[in-house]
Amino acid sequence: MPRIDYYFSTISPYAYLGHGTLLDVARDTGAQVAFRPVRIFELFDANGAVPLNQRAPARQRYRVVELKRWRDARGVALNIKPRHFPTDPGLADRCAIALVAAGHDPAGYVASAFRALWAEDRDIADVDVVAGLLDEAGFDATSIIKAAGQPPSHATYADNTAAAIAADLPGLPGYVLDDEPFWGQDRLEALQGALESGRPPYGRE
C-alpha cells in the first residue's frame, strides 16, 4: 500500500481546502495517509517563507484571490478573514498527534478543527473549543488533550517539522510520496496522477 506523508497545520487555509480532496485521492488509489502536523512557523523560518503579515502587499492581495478561487473549486465553506486568525494551532495539532499515537483515525477531527477556524469563527487555541471538537468526533477529550500536552506529543510535533524541512517543503500543506514532495493543495491532482501511474518518483537533484 502506498503511503502519503501528510504535513499540515490546522491554521493553514490551504490545508483545509485540500483536506477532503486528499482523503478522496487516498481512497480512490488505495493509499494510506500518515497525518503529520507541523510547526508551521518553524518550517517557514527554515525554508524561506514568511508569515502572512510580513509578505508584500501584492502577495497578500493575491492570496485573497487564490482563497476565493479554490474555495469555489473545492466547494468548501471558508471565511477569508476569520475572527480568530492568526491563532496558536499547537493544541489542535498535537491532539491529532495524540489521536494517531492512540491508534485512532484523526481525519474527521482534523476536518472539524479546520472548519472551526476557517468556517465557524471558533478559536482552536481555546481548550474548550478543542475539547468540543474531540467530543463531537467521538473521542475522549480529556485523555486526548492530556496526551497532547505530554512530552511524546511535543517530540512528534518537532520530528514532523524536521521531516517536512528535510523534504524541502516551503510551506503547508505538503504531501510526500516515495520521497517526492508535492507542495500545496493545488498539487493534489499531480499526486493522484503519480499514484495511479505508479511511475518512479521524481528526484530533487
pLDDT for 47 equals 84
Cell triple for 62:
493575491
- Residue 39 resides in a domain: yes
- Residue 76 resides in a domain: yes
- Confidence at 140, pLDDT banded by 50, 70, 90: very high
- Residue 33 resides in a domain: yes
Cell triple for 175:
504531501
pLDDT at 175 over 80: yes
- Confidence at 54, pLDDT banded by 50, 70, 90: confident
Residue 138's domain is classified under what CATH number?
3.40.30.10
Residue 90's domain spans which residues?
Answer: 3-197
- Residue 123 resides in a domain: yes
- Residue 165 resides in a domain: yes
Cβ(87)–Cβ(52) below 8 Å: no
- Residue 203 resides in a domain: no
- Confidence at 155, pLDDT banded by 50, 70, 90: very high
pLDDT for 51 equals 82
pLDDT at 35 over 90: yes
Q: Smallest Cα–Cα separation from 185: which of 2, 55, 23, 38?
A: 23
The reported pTM is 0.96
- Residue 202 resides in a domain: no
If one counts the domains in the chain, the total is 1
34 SS3 class: strand
